[in-house]
Amino acid sequence: MSMNKRVTFFLLLFSFFCYSQESNSGLVQSSNAAERFPVFTNCINLQSKALESCFYNQVQDFVFANFVVPENLKQNNFQGEIKVLFEVDTQGVFKVIYADAAEENLIKEAKRVFAKFPKIEPATYNARPTYSKFTITISIPLKSRGELAEKALAQAKIVSNGTKKLTELDSIVYHKFTNSMFESKLNIPFSHSYYAQFDASLNQVGSNNHTASKPYTYAEVSKYYDLKRANDNLKKNVSGWWARKLWNENAVEIQGEDYWFTLNPIFDLQVGKASQSKASYTYVNTRGINFRGGLGKQLNFTTTIFESQGRFADYYNRYAETIKPAGGNPAIIPGMGIAKDFKTDSYDFPLAEANLTFAPSKHIDLQLGYGRNFIGDGYRSLLESDGASPYPYFKFNTNFWKIKYTNTYMWLKDVRPEVTLERTYATKFMANHHLSWNVSNRLNLGFFESVIWTNTNDRGFDMSFVNPIIFYRAVEFASSSRTGNALLGLTYKYKWNNQINLYGQFVLDEFSLGDIKKSDNSWKNKYGYQLGIKYYNAFRVSDLLLQLEYNHVRPYVYSHSAPLTNYGHNNQSIGHQWGGNFKELIAIARYHKGRYFADAKVTMGTRGLDFDTSENNFNYGGNIYKDYDENRPFDTDVKVGQGNKTAVFIADFQWGYLVNPATNLKIFGSYIYRSFDPAKNTVSTFSESTNWLTLGLRADVFNWYFDY
């Protein structure tokens, strides 16, 4: 946290930079809260600029009066500078944090002088003692304040060729870092564990907010949950620079006139052991850097680059390799992207994400991003999930009255060999919109529509779908009835009370009214639904969230007669990660207290997989990348679980400690038990049970999904 104070009159001797005040009070501090400089005895009863100038003068005079230039340097007519970073702590004691000079004895002398400073009244913020930091440049040979004033006035009169001397850099003002991010339109990184901390506050009866479209912005959440207060309450009472950066703050944080920036390293370091694994251990080694900021109230941005290597439990490695792309790369890491070989048995999977948000008014924000989105109130989404690799997108949100309307335009890839041409992956486009309507204080309804199309006949990005309020299904039928895939959806949420919320989804891919009337379970009736319940502060335990969710998706949902226009990206489903032909029950418990947290998740499901053998190569409706018109075993009596019926059981437990709330950096341990039991073992699908234990240090800024 810093504020740059420059005094031109004393420019030749002093450059005060990075004035900051650190609060340990744990109170929420508004951006207009009163702050006061440290007070010398001679500066009592002064206020504002007068107090500030008095402080500078007292420091200057004290240094001039007490600093002794070593005799050998005097004799050699030494000229140079000593830069000193110092602080005045909450007790009013001066402390040198860092000093730099060409001669070591000058550094020692500077430290000696600052150790002699008298104890003064500390700086205050909201009337509470706080830390303040300053940088001083001591010029050798020393000059008094009067001598410097004369020299400054003389130099000010020097104007070359009538040209005005520019002082723009010297006049840049830095302010106390107040975490303006919490009021910004910047997206909050989507993590189920983190979002659970404020989910209850967002779902109070009578609130006119919308929770289905994720990620949220900080401004959306802060309206109902005081993110700044929560962050301050988590801060440790530490004073040293390194301690503050480790436990409380961003690595770099700058705030000026109507702008702010932060820079942080990002880590995801995991090591574990999985049973029945070919490798001796599993690991993830991710290093990254995140840069985010705001320019004015309207423009915010974030960009992150990750460099990762890893090796996982065997079941996860096999799945990553089954969805590998054309071109020779061995795998696609789910949710991450294409991976290349690393050493002999590991993967290298770089990743980048970015988002640029422009909010021209309080009702509208526009986003240009590269990442993932999510529609729904559950752990899973049947409409748009974050389980696939990141993709470029343009999104705009419109919020007014009881309505939030979200439009998203996406550029997706199909990386299968059969659609790869001249080593270039096939491109497809997706447009969707979701209208969220708060019908009453308790009931919310959402209406979703999505369409995917390809570049057939140089169609490109079809401008027919740019209009944000048009009905996609009708436009797609008029544009091309065979090269597009439209999908409809419904979301709902009912607030039973402030503790219990009911939620769900319905997805309609295709249906035949005539076949529905026949009640013969036709394959054409491609739909899925979700039913869920959340119990906040369960059993009167604060910050305990219990959740139960059931997902049911019929065969052939998300697939299409033209596989290129299926509901997928990078060989992964944009809807539910399991594709089609399954039912799933999930029980979740999440708890946090201070910096400690614990999550538990149990998944029980039934999947209908293909046999993919010479004897049985039918398409039973689970693989969305297969043409549903080819190798369909039957047209009626189509049921969930048909094919190689497989029972799935996954128990996932995670616990840990939040190291730094500014980056959501956590020390954690996790244990996963997975049982996978198909009716018939094949080369690619066979009975297996896995125990996977992991320890790690991770910035929780996206969701890892290991429940395949």
The residue ranges of the chain whose pLDDT is under 70 are 1-34, 152-167, 170-171, 470, 472-474, 476-483, 512-514
Alpha-carbon gap, residue 360 to 408, rounded angstroms:
18
pLDDT at 28: 30
8 A C-beta contact, residue 301 and residue 311: no
β-strand partners of 548: 533, 587
Name the maximum alpha-carbon separation found in the chain: 107
Lookup result for tokens 């080593």: 423
pLDDT at 125: 82
- pTM for the whole thing? 0.79
Lookup result for tokens 């899973």: 380
pLDDT at 697: 98
pLDDT at 484: 78
pLDDT at 160: 47
8 A C-beta contact, residue 616 and residue 640: no
8 A C-beta contact, residue 566 and residue 430: no
Alpha-carbon gap, residue 221 to 311, rounded angstroms:
36
pLDDT at 163: 55
Alpha-carbon gap, residue 581 to 640, rounded angstroms:
5
How far is CA 19 from its chain centroid? 29
- Please spell the DSSP secondary structure of 384-420, one letter per residue: B-S-SPPEEEEEEEEEETTEEEEEEEEEEEE--GGG-
pLDDT at 154: 64
Q: Where do the H-state alpha helices sit in 13-139?
A: 48-66, 71-75, 104-115
Give the N- to C-terminal CA distance of the chain in Å, as an integer: 44
pLDDT at 455: 81
DSSP secondary structure letter of residue 19:
B
pLDDT at 556: 97
Burial tier of 195 (Cβ tally within 10 Å: 0-12, 13-18, 19+): buried
Alpha-carbon gap, residue 497 to 200, rounded angstroms:
11
